[in-house]
């Protein structure tokens, strides 16, 4: 019987400060047993429990793409007991990863479709995984147009900045970066994500899906914009967060109605979410 509570042992391979305020760091992990990496086969949108003996576990979206081999990365905001400790850890340290957990963005449905990605703040991790995966030469032709609206308070708070600018130079993806207020040397949009979305989003159609991931306030103002643009609720895809422990649908705390965010989610369409209590 496979024990779903045992994390795979991993070593921290690289740590990068991800934002100017140093509240986020990106950790790259390598599996100590090569076979575990195969078992950890994941899809963009899934998450994992980062597990530190003596402190506990924390569910974090996987930021690396399934097309990137040999490691997995997570960008972690320092907030509670586990993440604060993680921020003090060093390259070479051993810890655990349990997963992959949850469902993923509905890639089967999204094949051949145009995709509008809307992200805000540090909720860009699984979106980064998704973009990286779609831009992979073996995948790019599978998808239609890709538009990305990504906003942060300041340029320094954008995650994965180097990559964002690189993608900005490409022809096969439309990047719409924005920051809340004017900043020196900033040549992109200025304004909140919902407002920029309204300006740049592609026309709604049966073949266009929006993936929205961001802080509650961004979601709150972005959804009406998408509705106004004609996006149907089953064409709006969101990733939810709730307090989790087990990550495998057993411990009982993350449900919204009948749905377990950790196992039935975290990815839901807006029409799914509309049927459940808003307990997230």
Summarize as ranges the residues that interact with another protein (CB under 8 A).
1-7, 9, 32, 51-58, 79-81, 83, 93-96, 216, 241-243, 245-246, 248-255, 257-258, 263, 275-280
Q: Smallest distance, Å, CB 262 to another protein?
A: 11
Instruction: Locate 279 and state its tokens.
Output: 């307990």
Those residues whose C-beta lies under 8 Å from the C-beta of residue 40, and which sit 6 or more positions away, are 8, 31, 48, 72, 97, 99, 100
Residue count of the chain = 280
134 or 270: CB nearest another protein? 270
Residue given tokens 């305020």 in the structure block = 21
C-alpha 104/C-alpha 130 separation (Å) is 10
Closest CB 258 distance from another protein, rounded Å: 5
92 SS3 class: coil
Least Å distance, CB 35 to another protein, is 15
> Of 170 and 253, which CB lies nearer to another protein in the complex structure?
253
CB of residue 99 vs another protein: minimum separation in angstroms? 12
Nearest CB to another protein, comparing residues 22 and 81: 81
The three-state secondary structure class of 31 is strand
Q: What tokens appear for 93 in the block? A: 């340290």
CB nearer another protein, residue 111 or residue 251: 251
Distance CA 67, CA 276 (A): 34
Q: How far is the CB of 15 from another protein (least distance, A)?
A: 16
Sorted by sequence, the CB contacts under 8 Å of residue 112 that are 6+ apart come out as: 142, 143, 144, 207
C-alpha–C-alpha distance, residues 103 and 266, integer Å: 6
For the record, the structure tokens of 175 come out as: 């990047």
Minimal distance in Å, beta carbon 240 to another protein? 10
Closest CB to another protein among 69 and 90?
A: 90
Query: With respect to another protein, which residue has the nearer C-beta, 15 or 200?
Result: 15
């Amino acid at each position: 019987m496979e024990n779903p509570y045992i994390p795979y042992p991993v070593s921290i391979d690289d740590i990068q400060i991800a934002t100017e305020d140093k509240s986020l760091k990106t950790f790259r992990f390598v599996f100590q047993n090569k076979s575990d990496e195969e078992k950890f086969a994941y899809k963009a949108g899934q998450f994992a429990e980062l597990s530190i003996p003596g402190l506990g576990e924390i569910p974090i979206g996987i930021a690396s793409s399934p097309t990137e081999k040999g490691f997995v990365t997570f960008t972690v905001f320092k907030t509670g007991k586990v993440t604060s400790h993680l921020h003090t850890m060093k390259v070479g340290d051993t810890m655990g990863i349990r997963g992959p957990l949850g469902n993923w963005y509905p890639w089967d449905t999204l094949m051949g479709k145009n995709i509008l990605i809307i992200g805000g703040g540090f909720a860009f991790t699984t979106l980064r995984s998704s973009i990286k995966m779609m831009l992979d030469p073996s995948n790019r032709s599978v998808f239609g147009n890709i538009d990305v609206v990504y906003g942060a308070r300041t340029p320094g708070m954008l995650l994965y900045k180097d990559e964002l600018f690189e993608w900005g130079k490409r022809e096969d993806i439309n990047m719409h970066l924005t920051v809340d207020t004017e900043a020196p040397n900033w040549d992109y949009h200025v304004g909140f994500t919902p407002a920029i979305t309204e300006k740049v989003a592609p026309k709604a159609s049966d073949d266009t899906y929006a993936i929205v991931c961001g802080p509650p306030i961004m979601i709150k103002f972005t959804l009406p914009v998408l509705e106004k643009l004609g996006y149907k609720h089953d064409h709006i895809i969101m990733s939810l967060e709730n307090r989790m422990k087990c990550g495998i649908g057993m411990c009982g705390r993350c449900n919204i109605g009948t749905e377990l965010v950790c196992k039935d989610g975290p990815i839901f369409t807006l029409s799914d979410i509309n049927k459940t209590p808003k307990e997230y």
